[in-house]
Structure 1
């Protein structure tokens, strides 16, 4: 017999119970430090089980490849970084900041929010070069945020690899300085803007400012689902305080408050919302609202020049632009106000996933997960002890001998732990 549904006011249907039920676990990202690069007979490169089929993108620090997992035949986007270029960038960031002083709330260069560029640059772990982006992506699990599956390092080469969802339909749109891209219809622009909203709202609920929202960082899957990518300059902020000091992002999409020298603290959420507005402007007009090849002139335009709009915009869309591209961050529209705006709701005819359901933050580790993590760490130490013991003996010892030594080490550790408990 099936259980009858709980009445609306029962404890089982309470908000807190619902939130616990819908909590998303954090993403599981595999970190592979001892990866091996090889080449096929056809001249294609491989990194472990991933075959790099062709280059599909290029950036300042490396390239993006279409990759195939030969074990599952699944396609991925594999981001290849140059470790030497990343290290130079870390050193330049450190030089510009004048050393590792300050509150430590800047861009996440190391193992966490409070670890500075100096620590990452000096680290022998190459994954620390992308630890900031890695820390953000490990925290997230959302249908409109790209998923990271694995990070691989080949210690014998200069490359570091990140394995992402393959977004077959590419960037939302190509925005060039000297040409106008084909704009979207109002309906398509609304659809993609709402998907971007859900992703950014979720980031903000998880205390993360993206800081580089633009069409290039919004990719479409083969089913035309929008996903947010590139968390290289993202920042985690303290709960309830989204104030950030450093400027980051692409100039044409930067908020006016970031275009001021020595601007002090600014709201990370408000700057993201401005960039969302510029992205919407691109979808409707095929270009950014301010265009200049001179960076200082561009900043002046963003700070002071009025935004010009094309003909034929509905009153509701024009009102949305005025509110989202408000140069004053204190009066700029908020995410909750966006949800209620007539253009977003298509005059009340379209609904969105509720804020509560969309913003279920990733669940904290359970006690069992913490215990398992501790066991995992303990097993690593067991391996290290066994290997040390192995090296002290003959090199001719077999794998079976090594396994036996690991068992012996484990028993020794268990005995020591039991003895310690007895003493307590």
Structure 2
């Protein structure tokens, strides 16, 4: 960025400073081409290399690209120079949720709306194998319509970060919002830890102050460890019950997000539209592959209908999405030598229903469990434990054009070398019937000029 100009790479006009931290500053900006308002996070590359948080920045980029959701800040693109990295993100005009709570407690209906949106966003992250680990009102923004936007994934973890015990072990987060098992440093479930933080946020929204607070940090940790808190007199009975189930110091008995959704306080006042959105974002399991094989004829019509439903709700990729999925979006080369890849993408000219059938057939042949998460997202899981736990792979289908689909395969758990062997020996050859071209490889060459013209991707 040229200090003599407020124009970044001839694309964005930089405005006022929105905030800053140790390694980055966030500016308001406007796209010169479209006039769209954005927020640009400017990261000093020399500083992050010096303190050794390169992997954290790369993980944040990867995570934000994975979690595209109405209640999560959208990452439009990433640009870089020799000295700076630029995150071009959605601009949340309403500022931090913290600023709203700092003025006093919220009305119950308003708090319920924000909590509902928070749970939707966090549940979506978990379905992608992402654990935020620093949920708090300061990291939750509001757009111009007062809708919530979860931000700051700098401390987030991916499912592949789990150790052999299936738990995360890095102690991180903000003390007042962190779960007791994180403090104990004995390993923790990222999902359960995020749920605890959501409970603290709900308490803050309704009360206007923290459930666990003390000037002595160790005393505050003691209160957190024993879930030593009291609800104000104005809390309704149903929200008290919900809070005590969320802020359960025992993670194994702590309420799940599915149970939170079923609670009477959570469901109160929900519109039909919200219920439909919940249903669409919930996890739906496919039949076990062996069971499905034994009753294939009986369930043929239902399976066909399911595939049509999924096909009709696939995500469409815009220009920014396509750029972000390209090899040029990977900033690894800015920091170090290339490392073994944990993901692969291919373009298919087959209908989505055919792609889905092929994925199910592949799972059966390779003796993998397969489940459908959101529309277009499928999860493969190994049945035998490997060197770093059970191997898991996500396959997500996107619409490029009506005639072309992009499929992204990504390791989300287990050992990378075991994934590479499974990919090379099983996944890649097993999908060859539906692959038109793998990313980074030349598209098939046709001798017939007429056929070759038909096979070309349409221009942008």
TM-score calculated relative to the size of structure 1:
0.64
Match of 2:183 in 1: 259
Match of 1:86 in 2: 48
In 2, Cα distance between the equivalents of 1:252 and 1:310?
A: 18
In 1, Cα distance between the equivalents of 2:167 and 2:41?
A: 30
- Verify: 1:182 aligned to 2:104, yes or no: yes
Shift of 1:145: 1.3
Q: Note the alpha carbon deviations across 1:204-253, whole angstroms, 9 max, x for none.
A: 11111111111111111111111111111111115999621212211110
Contact 1:54–1:66 (8 Å) recurs in 2? yes
SS in 1 for 2:202: helix
Match of 2:37 in 1: 75
Rg bigger for which structure?
Answer: 1
TM-score calculated relative to the size of structure 2:
0.60
SS in 1 for 2:2: strand
The 5 A counterparts of 1:48-127 are 48-90=10-52, 110=55
In 2, Cα distance between the equivalents of 1:181 and 1:306?
A: 25
The 5 A counterparts of 1:280-299 are 280-299=202-221
How many residues align? The count is 301
Contact 1:66–1:76 (8 Å) recurs in 2? yes
Aligned mate of 2:85, from 153, 160, 168: 160
Cα distance change on mapping 1:239 and 1:346 into 2, 3 Å: farther
Match of 1:136 in 2: 63
SS in 1 for 2:275: coil
* Runs of at least 4 residues off by over 4 Å: 238-242, 347-351, 365-368, 370-373, 375-379
Match of 1:353 in 2: 276
Shift of 1:67: 0.7
Contact 1:193–1:280 (8 Å) recurs in 2? yes
Contact 1:259–1:302 (8 Å) recurs in 2? no
Shift of 1:362: 5.6
Contact 1:173–1:216 (8 Å) recurs in 2? yes
SS in 1 for 2:16: strand
Contact 2:227–2:249 (8 Å) recurs in 1? no
Mind listing any 5+ residue stretches in structure 1 that lack a counterpart?
Answer: 1-36, 92-108, 111-128, 380-409, 412-424
Pick 1 or 2: higher relative contact order, CA cutoff 8 A, min separation 6.
Answer: 1
In 1, Cα distance between the equivalents of 2:160 and 2:72?
A: 21
Cα distance change on mapping 1:38 and 1:60 into 2, 3 Å: closer
Shift of 1:278: 0.5
SS in 1 for 2:276: coil
Shift of 1:335: 0.4
Match of 1:173 in 2: 98
RMSD between aligned alpha carbons? Answer: 3.0
Q: Note the alpha carbon deviations across 1:116-166, whole angstroms, 9 max, x for none.
A: xxxxxxxxxxxxx621011111222211111101111121x3x21101000
